[in-house]
A and B are shown apart, each in its own frame.
Chain A
Amino acid sequence: MAPARRSVLRKTVRPLSLSKGAIPMAHLFSYGTLILVTLLISLPVIWLVITSLKQETEYLAWPITILPEVAQWDNYVKVFTMGGFSYFNVAANTFFLATTNTILTLITSSMAGFAFSRFDVPGRDKLFMIVIALLIVPPIVTIIPQFIVFARLHLTNTYWPWILWGLTASPLHIFLFRQFFASFPRELEDAAEVDGCGPFRTFWQIFLPNAKPALATSFIFNFGAVWGDYFNPRIFLTDAQTTLAVKLSRAYADPVGNRFVTVTLAASVVYLLPLVVLFFLGQRHILKGVVTSGLRR
């Protein structure tokens, strides 16, 4: 009996120690893949930055050269002076739309998310099913009829659509806040109620201040979506009111009509920077998976 048991023990131990020995090999393979993917992902971006520092003639020379002879930092000045529009003004329009819409969306969506997670009210689950169903409906299906309606109400060529969209919350963000608030302990609102807090004060003073990860994630997602949106500004706004996405979809050109791709690429880099900064400010919340919390078992 005793030797048999010992052999069983040895059997269970051996594969474990073997796998420990195998780990560096497996990791070597992992690192190889990771470095390869990193290269593949970043190469186009590196090429963008390099090309944005070339002279237009250098860019159009063939065969191509990898690095510019002299880095043309001047291209980054031309972003603001060329192209026949004021980059600052267009950036201000874009920033206004993105912040206004995002702040409104955050307020209304967190309110609805709070209600859907913390109020045990008849009919709640059916209403929430509508929210979920709306996540599947292609937005384009409602946007184009909305465009027809807004056009008749003379709301196209104004910023009102963005304010209205913000005021009426977004299913995605409602879902996000609902998942987040659902993890709060029940005692929190019971205690608040005992202390005489109404539901609005409970929400505003207890739940919202504790929802920073969800707020940060929501803010970054929504701000990025509006900042990067090409379609809505394209159809809802005139060229004078439009956003950077629309302006930068066309190449910069001098008054004669010669295109300056290198300057456009520099403008693209400048356009990206705020999003990169915002992402690094909130990345720990995004990658920790506030968004995916609903998928966890």
Chain B
Amino acid sequence: MQTQESRARPRNKQRRQSPRKRRKIVAFYMFIAPWLIGFVVLGITPLVLGFLTSLTNYDGLNLPTVKFLGLRNYARAFTDSDVTYSFGRTLVWAALNLPVWLGLSFALALILNQNIKGRGIFRTLFYLPSIVPPVSAVWIWKTFLDQNYGLLNYILSLFQPGTAIPWLSTYALQGLTFIAVWTGLGAGMVVFLAGLQGIPSELVEAARVDGANAWHIFRHVTLPLMTPIIFYQLVMALIGSFQQFVIPLLLTTSVGSGSTGLPVVPPRSVYLYMNHVYRQIFGLQKFGYGTALLWLLFVVVMVLTLVVFRTERYWVYSEAAIEEEV
């Protein structure tokens, strides 16, 4: 094959000159072939088909009589009061979850970046919840937060007798935040630690020699140098927030009886956007409308990512910008 090709195009100097390079190209594509084929077959194809589905009233069974609706599914999303509601809940949840998670995992990383005894043990301990699967995490927290039998309300009632906060229904948003922060803490901390270890110790030492105290060092050396990491974490967590639906779903599933009926509706306070989508597709078989909602989510995630990237230069430290100033 190879020799034939090169003979067929003898004038193509570049190709004839470097059979070694051509072999490299062939090898390169052989190595990435599994991913590339998968990207086309399991990535692009479903995306295109999903988009086509979103333009129809497909319900899983009506393929012969399916109707083309144009953008009507998309238009409908804007008049669906549940879409507005669940989108709002997702925003509220992200606004509650992100600062707590970001602040706590950063603080832990700062503490554990010091040269103190037993920091390895603490790192392991704080990371452990990250390996707990959602189903177990929900059982752990349902038992802990239960209105009547949970330990948290019991401890609170020692200080304030009669405390019975419904963490899993009325206050499910706070309950969900507990679970999400608990699960994400370790992973966030590890990324922050890696960033902190990348800060040159000469900088900190120089600041100290100049008489800076711990707060000044944090405010003017550590924090500016950490902004790229904070930025990265923020984008990823925001994207993650919009995809959350398994934990709210499980909060209800395990409350319900042992029936196998598929979709359940989480408490209203944690009826997130993806829960609404899930219900449209798997509960009501509205594949067309559901995939349209998915595409809207996709657009929102992309726009958010772009916005955060756009504002990056105003607050994210970069070495190039500093060099220009100097």
Q: Is the CB of A140 closer than 8 A to any CB of chain B?
A: yes
Q: With A and B bound together, what is the CA distance between A64 and B294 in angstroms?
A: 44
B148 / chain A contacts, CB cutoff of 8 Å: 62, 64
A-B contact pairs, 29 of them (CB 8 A): A19-B214, A27-B116, A34-B108, A37-B104, A41-B182, A45-B140, A59-B149, A111-B32, A112-B32, A122-B25, A140-B274, A142-B47, A144-B281, A148-B287, A164-B38, A168-B39, A199-B27, A228-B134, A230-B134, A235-B282, A245-B135, A271-B136, A275-B132, A275-B133, A279-B131, A287-B127, A292-B195, A295-B194, A296-B197
Determine if A191 is an interface residue (Cβ-Cβ < 8 Å): no
Q: Which residues of B contact A (CB under 8 A)?
A: 24-25, 27-28, 30-32, 34-39, 41-43, 45-47, 49-50, 53, 58, 60, 104, 107-108, 111-112, 114, 116, 120, 122-129, 131-136, 138-141, 143-144, 148-149, 151, 154, 182, 185, 190-191, 193-195, 197-198, 208-209, 211, 214, 228-229, 232, 239, 242-243, 246, 250, 253-254, 256-258, 260, 262, 274, 277, 281-282, 287, 290-291, 294-295, 297-298, 301-302, 305
Q: How far is the CB of B126 from chain A (nearest CB, A)?
A: 6
A253 contacts B by Cβ under 8 Å? yes
Question: Which of B107, B114, B140, B287 is packed against the most chain A CB atoms within 10 Å?
Answer: B140
CB–CB B125/A41 < 8 A: yes
A contact residues vs B (CB 8 Å cutoff)? 11-12, 15-16, 19, 26-27, 30-31, 33-34, 37-38, 41-45, 47-48, 51, 59-60, 62-64, 108-109, 111-112, 114-116, 119-122, 124, 127, 130-131, 134, 136-142, 144-146, 148-149, 151, 164-165, 167-169, 171, 174, 198-200, 203, 220, 224, 227-231, 234-235, 239, 244-245, 248-251, 253, 257, 259, 261, 264-265, 268, 271-272, 275-276, 278-279, 283, 286-287, 289, 291-293, 295-297
Contact present for B294 and A141 (CB under 8 Å): yes
Give the complex CA separation of A35 and B142 in angstroms: 24
User: Interface on chain A toward B: helix, strand, loop, or mixed SS?
Assistant: helix
Nearest CB of A to B314, in Å:
21
| Also in contact, A149 and B49, with CB within 8 A (given A64-B149, A168-B37, A279-B128) | yes
